[in-house]
A and B are shown apart, each in its own frame.
Chain A
Amino acid sequence: MTFVKIDRKEWAEGVSALKKGYQVFGPVKEGPGKEEKDHEFRKLSGDQMPEMDYINTRLSPKAAIYPQSEVMFTYTTDERKDDHHILKEPKRDETPKAVIGIRPCDALSFLLVKKNFDTPEYKDPFWLRAYDATTFVGYGCDAPCSSCFCTSAGSGPFDEKGLDVLLADHEEGYLAKVLTEKGKALMEKAGWTSAIDAGGAEKVFGEKAAASQGKFESQISTDKLAQISSMDLYDAPFWEDIAFSCINCGTCTYLCPTCWCFDIQDECRGCDGVRMRNWDSCMSSLFTLHGSGHNPRGDKVSRVRQRFMHKLKYYVDKYGEGIQCVGCGRCVRKCPVNIDIRKVCEMMNQYDPEAQNECACPTT
């Protein structure tokens, strides 16, 4: 394991150098009235620097690999053309990507999403190519939000899973822990090569992680989710109460780093068209509407239940590696009506069907 020290000057020069070989993404505030806005991961232009004084971005960085709207193929139905009725891939910018300043929770989310896009039977070429071409430079959290709960969702403020490099604030710059070959290549490209003593650096990382861990105010329990039967949870009496306030918008799913569902659409003008995919949301009634007109999830309660059951039960059962949530807290912070996954998880984890003889709605 190599540790590198980066001072302020080297940092600015390094980010500029990276832009010559990578499409660099980082947290920034943009546009008019940006003071009132949240940070967002964007592709950095010209002399733009990642603004590292942020807590976390409004949307997750999943769009760097998996854009909200992505053209998969182009086509023409004009039979005068030789290539009519043939799906063709559009030209893409194949320059490698570097996502700078990603939080460890978000980095882990890519490994969760990978389980869906990279299976023995199916490999999603669009997602995988983008993922393989990306280097993730993480940024340890010294000051977690009160709504962050990554420490009980398989991650932590200095967790290394899914990262190629992990940065920590240190003195007037950063300490970098180089974790993979990809990370090493990026460090070299940036000119960040002042290796320092591993023992001392490891200690700094350890101390920072421990200090940050102590600041977490919020956690969830997931230990019983695997044992409770899906049918019992499905039929639990609390769903109507949880779902009541839900307006069935797509905020939680679109902000979530681990929500991976998409919808495929053809759009054409005259004979020329594109086949694109767009993020989809299980909160939408259209998500499950059949061609026949039947909708197996025709009401709000069943849609809300699906979102939580998928993340906290079906996924747990299918993969046996914990929940499909990394504890970033975005849905908690941005839900327009304050539906809180921490509360729902608690209700699911504590659920005892035997003890239920009447409604278990909370009376907080």
Chain B
Amino acid sequence: MQEYTDKIRQIARRLLEEGTVDMVIGFRKGSMPMMNEPCMVRRPQDVDQLVWDSNCGINLANYLTNRKEKIGVVAKGCDSRNIVTHIIENKIDRDQLHIIGVPCGAMIDKRKIASLVEGEITDVTETEEGKVIVKGEGFEKSFDKAEVLQENCAICIHRNPVVHDEMVAEPVEEQTDVDRYADIREIEAMSDAERKAFFDDLYKECIRCYACRNACPLCYCPTCFVDESRPQWVGKGQNENDIRTFHFLRAYHCAGRCTDCGACERACPVGIKVRMLTKKLEKDCKELFDWEAGISLENRPPLDAYRPDDPDEFIK
């Protein structure tokens, strides 16, 4: 990972010195284990705060929305797909961006790791051999990185950036033999009652902090429907219908746009598997329209385009 970090710093320094960009958006080391903080660097002398490791799970496309500057942005596979979506949706201009592509080695899941050890984790490091070393008061454990990946990373088939101006390393090999939708098929196979129970349980602990929405690069509406007050669509309390309305509607608003970057799930302070809804819609889009979001700047998203050969009769 140090090679990636060095290369990112080197590129960022050059871009800022040459004046190619006004700022570089990347990650700096966090103050907690398994946490890095998105940051912006405006001066060449500050580039040494930039880092790269397996704790860069926040999607940086979220920090580009409506910005006016020329920006260098560090982008792993999913970030790049959301940058494509941002460009298609006019939230940023391609010409404003210098995309520093990072072939992604997948992110580690801080909750999973916390659940595998007893006691507080004080330090987590990775080795070049693909091990994750977890230390805490009175323990040290080693895991294969593949065992402790974020769930979305474990099934990711686009680890390399789909668009970039330069890369920090050679592309990594893409996974091909993954079953992306095993969990969704399980839910699809449930009876109505089972499915209701599943979703009741899924959202039971939601505190409506909206971290999932706010971490999502797709959620840039000037006023989200849950924040509308004239008229007010959704109640503000802890009523379960209001909570579910928020989650369901938000997911539908991401249909055909979600890249399964996992930022929502990573951000949730209470560990809700927010991706269960967005992934179902992603699966539908794949099956109905053979569509994957954010792959190309040329094609309009399926819910944003009319095709004379649309397979559905009702739309003709």
Contact = CB atoms under 8 A, between A and B. Distances in A.
Contacts of A339: 37
Contacts of A147: 32
Nearest to A264: B236
Given A31-B204, A340-B31, A363-B46, A146 B209 contact: no
A36 B114 CA distance: 8
Interface string A224-251: 0000000000000000010011011111
B120 A145 contact: yes
Contact of B210 (A37, A250, A265): A250
A221 interface: no
A45 interface: no
A361 B46 contact: yes
A276 to B, nearest CB: 6
A216 B58 CA distance: 30
Interface in B242-274: 266-271
B168 interface: no
Interface string A123-148: 00000000000000000000101110
Interface in A280-330: 281, 284-286, 289
B209 A254 contact: yes
Given A285-B227, A363-B46, A336 B237 contact: no
A245 B209 contact: no
B31 A336 contact: no
A263 B238 CA distance: 13
B39 interface: yes
A31 B29 CA distance: 34
B203 to A, nearest CB: 12
A59 B37 CA distance: 22
A364 B49 contact: yes
Given A286-B227, A336-B211, A263 B36 contact: no
A339 to B, nearest CB: 7
Interface in A246-268: 247-251, 254-255, 263, 265, 267
A193 interface: no
Q: How big is the B interface, by class?
A: 35 or more
A364 B115 CA distance: 30
A2 B28 CA distance: 52
A360 B215 CA distance: 27
Contacts, number: 120
A336 B266 contact: yes
Nearest to B47: A363
A263 B49 CA distance: 39
B40 interface: yes
A245 B236 contact: no
Contacts of A363: 45-46, 48-49
Nearest to B268: A336
Contacts of B49: 362-364
Contacts of B122: 146
B235 interface: yes
Contact of A58 (B30, B35, B48, B269): B269
Given A244-B40, A336-B266, A338-B36, A281 B209 contact: yes
A32 B198 CA distance: 10
Contacts of B204: 31
A245 B214 contact: no
Interface string A352-364: 0000000101111
A31 B201 CA distance: 8
Given A244-B38, A337-B37, A278 B209 contact: no
A265 B236 contact: yes
Contacts of B229: 286, 289
B30 A249 contact: no
Contacts of B205: 31
A59 B58 CA distance: 23
A247 B60 CA distance: 11
Nearest to A364: B49
B95 interface: no
B63 interface: yes
A338 B31 contact: yes
A336 B269 contact: yes
B278 interface: no
6 shortest A-B CB distances, which residue pairs? Answer: A336-B267, A249-B211, A69-B237, A250-B209, A338-B30, A247-B214
14 contacts: A36-B271, A58-B270, A143-B137, A147-B32, A244-B63, A245-B63, A247-B211, A247-B214, A251-B209, A278-B236, A332-B31, A338-B37, A340-B30, A364-B49
